[in-house]
Amino acid sequence: MQIKEFDPIKKWRNKRKENNICWKVNIKTNIERGYDLDIKNPTKSTEEKEYSSAELLIEMLNTSFEKSHKLLNHLKQAVK
């Protein structure tokens, strides 16, 4: 990559406005957090559920099985 490839990003960054996906964090807050940049979206009203790895795996498998089941049904209908 060339440094000039970042020019459009630099221009965008300097003009961006705060919104529901872009927010500012005070440097004091950042220092107090030990420079941990994993800061939750302050505009998000619903709390996201945190999954254990087992729960996440089960959720992903169920979603995959549901998609597979739907695809199989579509194939069965197409073959009839």
pLDDT recorded at residue 33: 93
Count CB-CB contacts under 10 A for residue 30.
13
- Cα 30 from Cα 8, distance rounded (Å): 26
pLDDT recorded at residue 42: 83
Task: Give the residue extent of every domain in the chain.
Answer: 3-39+49-79
pLDDT recorded at residue 78: 92
> Quick one: tokens of 65?
């099985």
Q: Could you state, in chain order, the average pLDDT of each consecutive group of 10 residues for the chain (80 residues)?
A: 89 84 88 91 77 92 96 92
Give this prediction's pTM: 0.37
First to last CA, the chain: 53
Q: What is the full DSSP assignment across the chain?
A: --GGGGHHHHHHHHH---BTTB----HHHHHHTTT------TT--SPPPP--HHHHHHHHHHHHHHHHHHHHHHHHHHH-
